[in-house]
Amino acid sequence: MRINTLFYCIWQGIRNIFKNKWFTLASVATISACLFLFGLFYSILTNFQHMVKNAEQGLCVSALLEEGLSDDRVAEIRSMIVRRTEVSNVEYVSAEETWAQFVEENKLGDVSFYTENPLEDCAHFDIYLSDVSMQTALVNYLESIEGIRKINQSFLTAQALTGVNAIIGYVSIGIIIILFLVSIFLISNTVAIGISVRKEEIQIMKYIGATDFFTRAPFVIEGMVIGVIGSFVPLIAVFFIYNEAMMYVAKRFPSLSQLLAFLPVETVFTNLVPVCIGLGVGIGFIGSFTTVRKHLSV
Amino acid sequence: MKTTGTRRRLGAGISDKAIVMEHVSKAYTVGVPALNDVNLHINKGEFVFIVGDSGSGKSTLIKLLLRELLPTSGKIIVNGTDVVRLKRRAIPKFRRSLGVVFQDFRLLKDRNVYDNVAFAQRIIQMPNREIRKNVPSILSTVGLAGKYKARPKQLSGGEQQRVALARALVNKPQILLADEPTGNLDPKNSWDIMNLLEKINNNGTTVLVVTHNREIVNAMQKRVITMKKGIIVSDEEKGGYIDED
């Protein structure tokens, strides 16, 4: 294809956007509405996932060590645990530290009358997981290590978090698929109405020998540009709403700030911007491509 | 039924033919076919009128020549191309070898005269400098050089048809198909268009005109093919319009 033909098709596509103002407006509004819902759901779900992840990271398995282990053996056990891929962090807590924590947590006050450490056999490793669903596998491994006498784990919490994670994943995929299909349907209809009005134009092009590509290219470019515009509008809206919501929650419910730890807007938008633009362009492309095809058989 | 003129003899070789239709039939649905075993040979450089009542098969014939439709049976050769065997992707290139003019002009309403004509050149990927040379030239041939900026709705019917004619001719087609080109025009504009078509024909382009315009057909004394109910009932060299009783 000659370069001036390519520029001609692009120019015609852009020109059509301004020429058919109402059609452009209707298409942009439809795409924006769909992508706005998508952006909103995406932000909520990513934050929810982030909160669950935070909860997961606070979850640890405690491996209590047998009394009287040498420092070398403790170091050896530690390195065996650290090597595991599901382990994100390992902290050694000596018997003395355990007792000190216990005293502090239970506000026991003066405990100088204890001549010996009552938790002498409670030196342990606090093991944090990178993937909470791997807890059982880790526990099985720890049980096989000589020098570990007991393992404390929150099996139910781990299971619940794994389940919540899975549900969030399924719900996200489900909502995204539904929104995508609804968008395609709505946009195809909007584009179909807009293009049907120009059916005669397509037929004239075909009668005088225009190829399918030449006929279709301006419409497809128009659809893609509408898609880009239609994706920027909801992105801007979601950006402001997200920031406002974060500020509102922080101000109104300060006590919940630990539990409702929102992701920074930049983190959410790192993925949301390319996904939204990609969806907008994709929807515009598919919508115009398929609709024009119906009128090409002249 | 009255016929005028002399009966036509078919003597030219196949290489001299612009259009060949052999035993062509076209049926849309079960019942009376739109075309029934039509045989037609048109030589290169000829000027031919196709006349007949509504439903006689004239428009179907044009659609078959444009490869808008495929025949139910028979063979169609246009400019040496077997239209029936033509692959879908080859249709645009084939259509570029034809010029087409319709009764309703079929201009792109949102573009001015220049852009409407230039559009045909853009389709064949003509460089811009050539377009800038060819379009004014063809517009001056059809007498519209001064109106290149006008939009179709700012032009009279005759002028719009001239734009359509310029668009059909700018790529220098070997055959020009005109489907009722004077159907929406007053007598003066009709004659202007027919004179232009004759001028184009004198330059070597084969011209096929489907028309109802009795006065023009009788006055121009060209080859006249008369159709009735999908059959060619008369083919006269220097013929006239056959009156139906």
pLDDT tens digits for range A64-104:
998 888 889 999 999 999 999 888 889 999 888 888 888 88
Amino acid letter for position A13: G
Rounded distance, CA A180 to CA A183, Å? 5
User: Which residues of B fall within a CB distance of 8 Å from A8?
Assistant: 122
Say how far residue A71 (Cα) sits from the centre of its chain.
43
CB contact under 8 A, A208 and B122: no
**Contact present, A151 and A64 (Cβ < 8 Å):** yes
Residue A275: CB atoms within 10 A of its CB come to: 17
**pLDDT at A136 > cutoff 60:** yes
Task: Kindly state the helix (H) or strand (E) to which residue A169 belongs, with its residue range.
Answer: helix A155-197
Q: Which domain does A73 fall in, by range?
A: 60-153
User: Which residues of A fall within a CB distance of 8 Å from B68?
Assistant: 207, 298
Say how far residue B121 (Cα) sits from the centre of its chain.
19
User: Which residues of A fall within a CB distance of 8 Å from B128?
Assistant: 4
Rounded distance, CA B65 to CA B33, Å? 17
Q: Residue B195's closest CA among B174, B170, B173, B220? A: B220
Which parts of A198-264 fold into alpha helices (H)?
199-207, 212-252
CB contact under 8 A, B108 and A298: no
Decide if the complex's ipTM is over 0.90: no
Rounded distance, CA B148 to CA B112, Å? 7
Asked if residue A232 and residue A104 are part of one domain, the reply reads no
Q: CA of A272 to nearest chain B CA: how many angstroms apart?
A: 38
Q: What is the pLDDT of residues B111-129, one digit of tens each?
A: 899 999 999 998 888 888 9
Helices B113-123, B128-141: crossing angle, 10 deg rounding: 130
**pLDDT at A205 > cutoff 70:** yes
Asked if residue A100 and residue A244 are part of one domain, the reply reads no
- Kindly state whether B118 is in contact with chain A, defined as any CB-CB distance less than 8 angstroms: no
**pLDDT at res. A156:** 64
- Name residues 161-220 of chain A within 8 A of B (Cβ): 200-201, 203-212, 214
Q: CA of A5 to nearest chain B CA: how many angstroms apart?
A: 6
Asked if residue A122 and residue A46 are part of one domain, the reply reads no
**pLDDT at res. B6:** 46
User: Which residues of A fall within a CB distance of 8 Å from B123?
Assistant: 205, 208-211, 214
CATH number at residue A103: 3.30.70.3040
Q: Which residue has the higher pLDDT, A263 or A133?
A: A263
Q: Cβ neighbours of residue B37 under 8 Å, at least 6 residues apart?
A: B23, B24, B25, B74, B231
Asked if residue A76 and residue A133 are part of one domain, the reply reads yes
Q: Report residue A8 as tokens.
A: 């001609």
**Where a domain ends, among A131, A153, A175?**
A153
**pLDDT at res. B69:** 92
Backbone angles phi, psi at A296, to 5 degrees: -85, -20
What is the set of domains in chain B, with CATH numbers? 1-97+173-245 (3.40.50.300), 107-172 (no CATH)
* Strand runs labelled E in B129-185: 175-179
Asked if residue A193 and residue A135 are part of one domain, the reply reads no
Residue A216 CB-half CA count within 13 A? 17
**Contact present, B205 and B174 (Cβ < 8 Å):** yes
Rounded distance, CA A181 to CA A174, Å? 11
Cα–Cα distances in Å, from A159 out to A107, A130, A134, A163?
A: 32, 14, 10, 6
Asked if residue A185 and residue A51 are part of one domain, the reply reads yes
CB contact under 8 A, B66 and A205: no
Which of B95, B115, B174 is the best mutation test for A, with the most CBs of A within 10 A? Answer: B95
CB contact under 8 A, B108 and A210: no
CB contact under 8 A, A200 and B110: no
Rounded distance, CA B134 to CA B113, Å? 13
Asked if residue A273 and residue A182 are part of one domain, the reply reads yes
Residue B91: CB atoms within 10 A of its CB come to: 19
Rounded distance, CA A25 to CA A27, Å? 5
Q: CA of B112 to nearest chain A CA: how many angstroms apart?
A: 14
Instruction: Place B3 in a pLDDT band, splitting at 50, 70 and 90.
Output: very low
Residue A154: CB atoms within 10 A of its CB come to: 15
Rounded distance, CA B181 to CA B208, Å? 11
Percent of chain A with pLDDT over 90: 13
Residue A253: CB atoms within 10 A of its CB come to: 11
**pLDDT at A56 > cutoff 80:** no
Asked if residue A267 and residue A205 are part of one domain, the reply reads yes
User: Which residues of A fall within a CB distance of 8 Å from B59?
Assistant: none
**Where a domain ends, among A132, A153, A174?**
A153
User: Which residues of A fall within a CB distance of 8 Å from B100?
Assistant: 207-208
**pLDDT at B5 > cutoff 50:** no
**pLDDT at res. A57:** 73
CB contact under 8 A, B125 and A201: no
Q: Report residue A184 as tokens.
A: 């395609």
Mean of the per-residue pLDDT values of chain A: 84
Q: CA of B76 to nearest chain A CA: how many angstroms apart?
A: 18
Asked if residue A166 and residue A44 are part of one domain, the reply reads yes
Instruction: Place B28 in a pLDDT band, splitting at 50, 70 and 90.
Output: confident
Residue B146: CB atoms within 10 A of its CB come to: 10
Greatest CA separation found in chain A? 104
Which of A208, A211, A213, A297 is the best mutation test for B, with the most CBs of B within 10 A? Answer: A208
Rounded distance, CA B76 to CA A50, Å? 70
CB contact under 8 A, B96 and A205: no
Look up tokens 């509504």; give the residue: B54
Q: CA of A231 to nearest chain B CA: how many angstroms apart?
A: 28
Q: Cβ neighbours of residue B81 under 8 Å, at least 6 residues apart?
A: B94, B97
CB contact under 8 A, A5 and B125: yes
**Where a domain ends, among A106, A124, A153?**
A153
- Kindly state whether A9 is in contact with chain B, defined as any CB-CB distance less than 8 angstroms: no
CB contact under 8 A, B124 and A200: no
Asked if residue A30 and residue A175 are part of one domain, the reply reads yes
- Kindly state whether A298 is in contact with chain B, defined as any CB-CB distance less than 8 angstroms: yes
Asked if residue A75 and residue A12 are part of one domain, the reply reads no
User: Which residues of B fall within a CB distance of 8 Å from A200?
Assistant: 106
Mean of the per-residue pLDDT values of chain B: 88
- As for how many domains chain A has, the answer is 2
- Kindly state whether B110 is in contact with chain A, defined as any CB-CB distance less than 8 angstroms: yes
Asked if residue A226 and residue A113 are part of one domain, the reply reads no
Q: What is the pLDDT of residues A252-291, one digit of tens each?
A: 887 776 667 788 889 999 989 999 999 889 888 888 888 8
Instruction: Place A190 in a pLDDT band, splitting at 50, 70 and 90.
Output: confident
